[in-house]
Structure 1
Amino acid sequence: MDIRDMKHFYAIVEEGNISNAAKRLNIAQPPLSKQMKQLEENLGVQLFERGSRRIRLTEAGQLLRERVEQILGLVDGTMKEITELNSGLAGILSIGTVTTSGATLLPDLINKFHNLYPNVTFQLWEGDGYRILELLDKRIIEIGIIRAPFDSEFYESITLPAEPLVIAMKQDGCHCGEDPENVRLIELVNQPLIIPLRWKAMFVEWCGKAGFKPNIVCISDGVLLNILWAKLGIGMALVPKSVEGLISDSALTYKKIIEPTVSTETVIVWVRNRKLSANSKHFLDLLKDMVVK
């Protein structure tokens, strides 16, 4: 199996079928199908479950996908480093981000970086915090933007100022307390709550100190989905305050949690003891100048 096999296999995985992958690779479909069949024969395993319009990977195929992500990420990273030695800042800067942090932090940052280094292009990946760390580990990205907490033993980081957490709820639904802008933590007793997995343990601990066990109806790291559920009245969603500016909806109201005030932190992370490209180093320097006080 060579790099060409890996790239063609990964194209099929990303596109979901051989036909679309062939178009993307600018080759005919029959040779690509034959190449994958030969790859399976060489490896002695079946990689794809055939018979449906969208290809599904076997267990062996899933394992190969993970390894190919790592290998291609390493190859691309090496090529970028070599290119930078001769031509300065150019190529691709790969960043992964959780939805809310990326939407509020990245636009101005990327715009300024692009003005300084117009030959650099960006590749952005979006997902929950666990997915972003996985992409970092596999060298698919060099910089991740996540929410705390995280394992500082494996990642270096820059922590941004704390951001309050708020409760998003249906405007004409059941409200908590009389204050139109704030809600005391104790006022969430018996309320149906939608909590991100990342904050579940901390939130349960906060509620325990306040003297009650929270009524969690859903655990989900999908901020947009959580807000939709809140809008439908299924529950009240725990989200960062920045969501209020990103998702403004007359059917929703947002209340800051007080007594105690609870907060979250956006963290920029990269793998400890791994050499960063010149692009990433300059991006972090710009970030520190713009955001870190």
Structure 2
Amino acid sequence: MDVEDLERYLAVVREGTISGAAAALHIAQPSLSRQMRDLEEGLGATLFERGNRRITLTEEGMILRRRAEEIVRLVRQAEREVAEAGSSVSGDVYIGAGESQAFHVISQVVARVQADHPDIRFHTVSGDTQDLMDQIANGLLDVALVFSDFDQALYQSVAVPDADAFGILMRKDDALAAKDSVTYDDLAGRPVLVSRAFMPAAEGSEALRSLRIAGTYNLIYNASLMVEDGIGIALAFGGLVNTGPESSLCFRPLEPAQQVTGRVIWKKYQVFAPAAQLFVDALKESLVR
């Protein structure tokens, strides 16, 4: 099994049929069918349930799809980095981040680096700490902005200067919207949506354990729609959701105030591609005082 096999497999998954993938790849259908059978035999697993119309992935097929996407991306990224190593600084930088106004700190560094090196491309991914650390571990991200605990033996980090304040996102017609700030006592018995990233903290906090947690979320935009539809109120950072005059939502800070400072992390002893190394150096210069 090589990277070309995986690319052909992903084409079959994407197109949904062997014939469609063969047309997209400009190869003969019998040849592609044989390559897929050889792939299954080599792995000792059935990857597809072949129907009259579209293929369906087996559990083994879904596992291979996830890994194939990672492997193909890493191989192509390595090819680009090797090709670019002897030329002017260019290439791709992959940044993960939890949702926060603190991302402005990173984007400002991106703007400065790109102004001097317009051939560097920046790619961002949103997620919680565990998602982002998994992607860093798998080589899919260079750095990530996180807001909960991480293994300091595995990662280097720098703190961003601005802290994010917790508060409550709710409908403007909610009774609590009349208050300037909200306490945990005010939330007693209310269904609350909590970021998945902060669930570990909930287990160690008496105040958070007292909440009636109705659900968790990963991205605040989806949670805001749940709030709009009356499912609950959301514990979240401020400034991430539109609460202007045209919005049905409002935000109130928690009292006493609770703030979290994010940190940008990357793997210790990481050997970066030139573009990523340049960005990390600029980031440290900006943040380490």
Q: CA deviation at 1:61?
A: 2.2
- Counterpart of 1:273 in structure 2 is 269
Provide the C-alpha distance between the structure 2 equivalents of 1:22 and 1:242, rounded to a whole number of angstroms.
Answer: 48
Is 1:190 aligned to residue 186 of structure 2?
A: no
For the structure 1 residues 119 and 164, does the alpha-carbon distance in structure 2 shift closer, same or farther, using more than 3 Å as the test?
A: same
Which amino acid letter does the alignment assign opposite residue 231 of structure 1? E
**Superposition deviation, residue 34 in structure 1:** 4.2
Relative to structure 1, is the Cα distance of residues 209 and 254 closer, same or farther in structure 2, using a 3 angstrom cutoff? closer
| One-letter identity of the residue aligned with 1:264 | V
TM-score, length-scaled by structure 2: 0.82
In structure 2, give the amino acid aligned to 1:157.
S
Q: How far apart in 2 are the matches of 1:52 and 1:134?
A: 38
Q: Deviations over 1:216-239 (max 9, x none)?
A: 111222311211111222211011
Match of 1:214 among 211, 214, 218: 211
Amino acid in structure 1 at the alignment position of 2:98: V
Q: Secondary structure at the match of 1:95?
A: strand
Structure 2 contact 97–145 (Cα < 8 Å) conserved: yes
RMSD: 3.1
Q: Within 2, Cα distance between the matches of 1:114 and 1:133?
A: 25
> Is residue 176–residue 182 contact of structure 2 (8 Å, CA) maintained in 1?
no
Q: Name which of 233, 239, 244 aligns with 1:242.
A: 239
Q: Which residue of 1 aligns with 2:44?
A: 44
Question: 1:174 and 2:175 equivalent?
Answer: yes
> Counterpart of 1:133?
133
Q: TM-score, normalised by structure 1?
A: 0.81
Distance 1:202 1:183 in 2: 19
Say which is worse superposed, 25-34 or 275-284, in terms of deviation.
25-34
How big is each residue's C-alpha offset from its partner over 1:231-277, in whole Å with a ceiling of 9 and x where there is no partner?
22221101111314x56552111011122x21223332212222122
How many Å separate the matches in 1 of 2:28 and 2:96?
32
Residue identity (%): 25
Could you tell me whether the CA contact under 8 Å between 1:93 and 1:120 is conserved in 2? yes
In structure 1, how many angstroms separate the alpha carbons of the residues matched to 2:78 and 2:204?
44
Give the secondary-structure state (helix, strand or coil) at the position aligned to 1:122: strand
Rate the CA distance shift 1:16–1:215 in 2: closer, same or farther, 3 A. farther
Q: Do the aligned partners of 1:16 and 1:55 also contact (CA within 8 Å) in 2?
A: no
Q: Cα distance 1:86–1:155, how it changes in 2: closer, same or farther (>3 A)?
A: same
Q: Structure 1 residues 127, 35: closer, same or farther in 2, change over 3 A? A: farther
Amino acid aligned to 2:231:
I
Distance 1:105 1:82 in 2: 30
Q: Which runs of 5 or more structure 2 residues have no equivalent in the other structure?
A: none
Which whole-Å CA distance do the structure 1 matches of 2:229 and 2:279 have between them?
Answer: 40
SS at match of 1:125: strand
How many residues matched?
285
Give 1:96 deviation, angstroms: 2.7
Residue segments in structure 1 that go unaligned for 5+ positions in a row:
none
**Equivalence for 1:122:** 122
**Alignment map for 1:244-259 (pairs within 5 Å):** 244=241, 248=244, 250-259=247-256
Provide the rounded CA distance (Å) in 2 between the counterparts of 1:145 and 1:12: 35
Q: Secondary structure of the equivalent of 1:86?
A: coil
In 2, distance between residues paired with 1:252 and 1:279? Answer: 41
Q: What amino acid sits opposite 2:96 in the alignment? A: G
2:198 corresponds in structure 1 to 199
Residues 68 and 106 (structure 1 numbering): CA distance in 2 closer, same or farther, change over 3 Å?
same
Once residues 222 and 52 of structure 2 are traced to their aligned partners in structure 1, the CA distance between those partners, rounded to angstroms, is 29
Q: 1:227 aligns with which of 224, 237, 240?
A: 224
Conserved 8 A contact 2:103-2:145: no
Contact 1:155 1:272 in 2 (8 A): yes
Query: CA, structure 1 residues 100+278, in 2 after alignment: closer, same or farther (shift >3 Å)?
Result: same
Indicate if the aligned counterparts of 1:73 and 1:139 stay in contact, CA closer than 8 A.
no
